[in-house]
Every structure is written in structure tokens, then in C-alpha cells.
A and B are shown apart, each in its own frame.
Chain A
Amino acid sequence: MSLSLSPTNAISAVPAENSKIAPIIHLSAVGKRFGKNQVLANIDLDVHHSEVVCLIGPSGSGKSTLLRCMAFLEEYDDGEIHIEGRLLGWEIDDRGHRKHAGRNRLNQARRNLGIVFQQFNLWPHMTALGNVTEALVRVRRLPRQEAEKKAMKALDKVGLSEKAKEYPARLSGGQQQRVAIARALAMEPKIMLFDEPTSALDPELVGEVLAVMKQLAQEGMTMVVVTHEMGFAAQVADSVVFLDQGSIVTRGTPNEVFRDTNHPRLRQFLQNYLDRNAFWHTTPEKTS
């Protein structure tokens, strides 16, 4: 495999030793409402360099909304989100009121972020290579040749360099999602946000996407992943955050969250997961 494209792969410190350094993502008291509906309340969360954080929770728990807030795809109403020490999406004026940050400021903050969506969101009228090249040419202003070289490297990293000339419609769901990952990686982000990246995939295609994500994690990429794949979370995450009804119920290492917990709602959630996924043992094994 080729070298990592991420500049952060030089730092491979374990998060625990890292925690005294300023977090790369810092959320304090973040809240979000849709109309009268409070979907996120009082969220505090720090993510450090090279850390992999998995957000889990039942559907409607607000985990996807939280991730979208981290990219300012949703405007958060309360609290603050800092990416690399910079306030995301808002500006505080002289009188202490907040207003929308300008396009440029928002884009500057987003430069550090790569985002992968549940529905891939590839542009269907461009080839795989075209999808990856587009922003390199039009945002980074690279000459086409250089952009394509970079794009090929990113496609190679997700194992799809030989599909570069194909249109998305001719790729499987798993391949499309890997192109989407390459599109984000090519911009050399410091943080990758994944919003249920395997939920729209047929079960047999989930593995190839998770493998790419695992490799990224091993290379030291900072990642926040909303997922229903508990196996992935258990193996790869440095910490797992369980959300329910818009707030963080518990957070810990995979061991703490998946084995040692006695939090009733979390245990119920995990039990439901086991029931749904156990097809051999008629009675699922106790988790502790």
C-alpha cells in the first residue's frame, strides 16, 4: 500500500498520553433544536490527535446530527465547537452576539475536515477520478495533471485505481463509498468524519469499506465515526460514546462500554443489537 496521504500520520501517540495537549475537536455545551424539538442538549466532547471516536446509539438519538454539527452542515444553537482552536461556523461580534461566520472563515475551518456520508453523495455525472479531482482543481487550484496524480494516489489508497475511469453508476455501493472516502482524503484533511458510512450498503459490501477505515485509523488519522457496526467500534475505536435522546449517556474505552457497563439503557441497546445479529446461538451469550 502507498504512504498515508495524511500529514497527521507522523503523530502516533496513544490518546491517553495525548490528553494534556489541546484537543483537535472541542465541543462544550453544544445544543441543537429542530423547531421545538431539542435534538441535542449539553454535549461536551473532546477528540485528540490520532484518536478514533465512535458515536453509537439508537436511531433518533442525535448521533448523526452531532456529527453534522461538527462540519456545520447543521447549525448548532447553543455552546461552542472548536476545530483546532477555531470556533466553527459562528463569529462573536463586539457586543458578544453571535452571527454566521463568512464563507471564507467557514471554509478555512472545513479545510481540516473530510466528510463521508451515508448516501455517498458522489456526483453521478463525473467519473471516479473526476469526483476526486474536482475540488483539487477548483478549490486548491492545482494544475489538472498534478491534481490527477494526487487523485490517483487517493484512489490507490482505497484500492480502486483501476476503476478511476468508471462512472459511479457502474460501481458497487462499497466501491462508491470508497471513492467518496478517496475524494475526502485527497484534500488531506486532519480529521475524517464518517456519518454511518456502511448503513446504505448490502451486508456483503460492508467489510471492504470498514477495512479502508481501519487502515486509516492505523495510520493515525483522527476519526469520528457514527456507526451501527459494533464490531468495528470494539476493534478500532479508542473511545466509544453512547448517545440517547440527544445527550451523551456514557463514554469510555470499548472494553468499558461494551463489557463492563451496567448502565441500563446502554445494556438494553447492546442486547437489542445482539438479538438482531445472532443467528447461530439461540440464546445470545451474556455480555459480562
Chain B
Amino acid sequence: MFDWPTFLFSLPLLGKALLITLQTSLLGNAFGFVIAILISSMQLAKMPLLRRLGGSYIFIFRGVPLLVQLLVIYYLAPMFGLPNLSPMVAAVMALSLCSGAYIAEILRGGLMAIPSGQSEAAHLLGMSRPAILLRIELPQAVQSTLPSLVNELVLLIKASALVSVVGLADLTRVAQNLASSDYLFFQHYLVLAGIYCLINIPLTMFGRRLERHLERSLA
């Protein structure tokens, strides 16, 4: 039933592909975090225009499927003067833009939970608005939303399976290639699912531990 030689032979290939998957998801998560800081502070800004812009960003990038966003970047980038976008760049771009919207929603919740007295106090001490955000508010927001942020990373690793569509040789793509070469579809996809679980389940558990820890420290 399970062809062990084939499995052992495929391991080095899958190992290399795993690195690609981790690289895309982690880069996507990192750039997404930077975008999220920008978007969430826009949403909490006083200027109505900024708020609306931030809101629209979230509305669009949370409302359109990631696969469609990937296709848009892949097909339309050449038309807007970005020729020869490598699959890696296109994939990281799509993942960052999309996760940016989700992380922004998480951070906004964390930022809104901080008592306004804190930023007022910092303001009276002469701190600038960006300094207050980065030094006072953001660290607290990140701490209080860390479990959700870890959960978001798990979702992003799973979503990164879609980048195989634009031809990036990630885990899913390599498993697909293996399967279509020897027709052992079920076996290769089972191994594929196992590898994703091996990364995601410990991460999920870590997130849950953080959550319990957080609840206890707040209680």
C-alpha cells in the first residue's frame, strides 16, 4: 500500500521544498506585519480620509480570495511595467498584501484595548505620535494579541500552498510533480498533509499555550 522506497527517495526533494514554503510564509508574514502596522494606525487615525483608506484596504484584501489576488499580481504585473516578476516575488507580494489586512484587524483590536490615558500621558511628555505608536502602544498590542498572531501565521502557512499555482516549487508543487510522475497520488498527498501538520499542529499548540498564559496573567 505504502511505497517506502519512493517515500525515502522523495524526502530530500520535499525537504528543499519545505524550505521554500517556510521562506515564502515567513517573508509574507514579516512584510504583512509591516503593512498591518501602517493600515491599523491609518484606521485609528483622526483624519477621515486615512480611516477610509485603511478600511478600504482591509475590505478589498479580506474580501477577495488569495488565489484571485495571486492571479491578479501574476497576470497584471507585466502590464503595469513589472516584467518578469519571479514566482517567488509574486508569491511573497500576494501573501504580504493579504496577510497585512488580516494582521491589521488583529492589531487594531489590540491597539483599541489600550487605555487612552497612556498615549495622553506620553503626549504630555512630548513624545511624537509615531514614537508613541512604536514605543508605547505597539508592544502592548502585540503582547496582548500574540496568540491570534501565531494563529494567523498558521493560516498563512496553509494559504501558501496556493503559490504552487504561479509555479513556485513549494511543498505542494513538488508533491504534485512527484505524484504525476509515478501516479502514487494518495501516498504523496498524504505525506504532504503530514508535513503541513507537523509544522502547523505544534505552532497551534504553542499559540494555545500563549493564550492560556495570557489569560492567567490577566486574571
Touch A–B, Cβ below 8 Å: no
Q: Which residues of A contact B (CB under 8 A)?
A: none
